[in-house]
Amino acid sequence: MDSILVKGNGPLSGSIPIAGAKNACLALMPATLLSEEPLTLTNAPRLSDIKTMSALLQSLGGEVSRMQDGKVLALSSHDLTSSWADYDIVRKMRASNLVLGPLLARTGQAQVSLPGGCAIGARPMDLHIEGLEALGAEIELRDGYLHAKTAGGRLKGAQFELRFASVGATENIVMAATLAKGTTVLTNAAREPEIVDLVKCLRAMGAQIEGEGTSRIEIQGVDALHGATHQVVADRIELGTYMLAPAIAGGEVECVGGSLELLGAFVEKLDEAGISVEATEKGVKVKRRGDRIKAVDVKTEVFPGFPTDLQAQMMALLCTAEGTSVLEETIFENRFMHAPELTRMGANIEVHGGQAKVHGVERLKGARVMATDLRASVSLILAGLAAEGETVVSRVYHLDRGYESVEDKLSACGAKIERITE
């Protein structure tokens, strides 16, 4: 099994290219199920999660091929042969549930296994089910599968308010509503950039949607969607992760292809901690203003608040801050599993329920640590950049789900990092 070896090596210098957004691409790919015509996605990330979604679409009769070094995905669902999303594929990744809405809208039926993914919380499907039922779907859970069908052969527009601004539920409902008869008004909708990107793609396919990026999205159903070509938005979580690399290790790094508009609340916290962030012609440039950063308090929230997917990486930064920081996790209940691993590196962290107190220490020390989920894995790598000695991060298959060529991108900036097989 592969591990990542990191040796603390001082300041970083150089540039890091930011890939297309994993979470955006995983929502865009199922959109192909809504049309008989081809969908082409450019700037697609090369990740194991993308392979999993490709396998799922192919199991339904879809066609998926990679071009231009894998950065372009050509998708087609002209001849769907199945509406059964099998457990053996779906269990690997939560986003697999995003085929539910499109299958239901296009074929009138779907059988989708309850999903898997990182063990960071319950993340139930109730909001997805409630929204699709509001559109006229009949859904029941049997033997671990959601069995869904439309009573009248086609979904119908409706007004529906999400109890929580769930990204996945928003995506599923919006995709399903594009082919529903009549108008759908979705309130308390998620506002994340990935939602905006999905709507841009759906609109290019002929969907009639307004309000993306706000809490109210209106969809006028159409009879059919056509093919399109769409560029995947830059990955704001990868961007934030690499912005933290020079903040932790020192030096200056330019994140090419990134945009500050994607990370407003996160950038505000970096500034508060003493980190300089500057927009450039190519992207975003980051450097630490002083020798040691300042402690800050962080509360994760739905967009435009501080992203839960950057909480672990931010904790790694605050481990060596001057003072005590408090991190409050409000999205997922099990998302402090990286804290004990950071403690193995000399961090001083107290976790009580959904809150973690991080008492800054002057220096972390290298250790053998274990990745517990996707974002935790990269937080340990970031910590290793500033630690004395060697850090070995095991179970990095989590990492490969969401980060493309981490070793190459960081080593190009002077980091001592390599993948090893143990």
| CB atoms near residue 65 (< 10 Å) | 10
Distance of alpha carbon 98 from the chain centroid: 14
- Neighbouring C-alpha atoms within 13 Å toward the C-beta of 369: 34
Instruction: Quote the tokens at residue 113.
Output: 């296994």
DSSP string covering 81-102, please? ---EE-HHHHTT-GGGGGGHHH
**Annotation says 255 is catalytic:** no
- The amino acid present at 9, given as its one-letter code, is N
What are the E-state strand segments in 159-215?
A: 159-161, 183-187, 208-210
Annotated binding residue at 5?
Answer: no
Annotated binding residue at 123?
Answer: yes
Annotated binding residue at 357?
Answer: no
| DSSP structural state of residue 31 | G
Q: What's the CA gap between 146 and 139, in Å, rounded? A: 6
Instruction: Quote the tokens at residue 79.
Output: 């001849």
Annotated binding residue at 216?
Answer: no
Annotated binding residue at 102?
Answer: no
> In a 3-state reduction of DSSP, which class is residue 173?
helix
Annotated binding residue at 126?
Answer: yes
What's the sign of the alpha-carbon dihedral 33, 34, 40, 46? negative
> Which residue among 118, 201, 255, 319 is the active-site one?
118
Annotated binding residue at 188?
Answer: no
Annotated binding residue at 309?
Answer: yes
What's the sign of the alpha-carbon dihedral 25, 400, 72, 74? negative
Q: Hey, which residues are catalytic here?
A: 118
Residue list for the binding site for UDP-N-acetyl-alpha-D-glucosamine: 94, 123-127, 309, 331
Residue list for the binding site: 22-23, 94, 123-127, 309, 331
Residue list for the binding site for phosphoenolpyruvate: 22-23
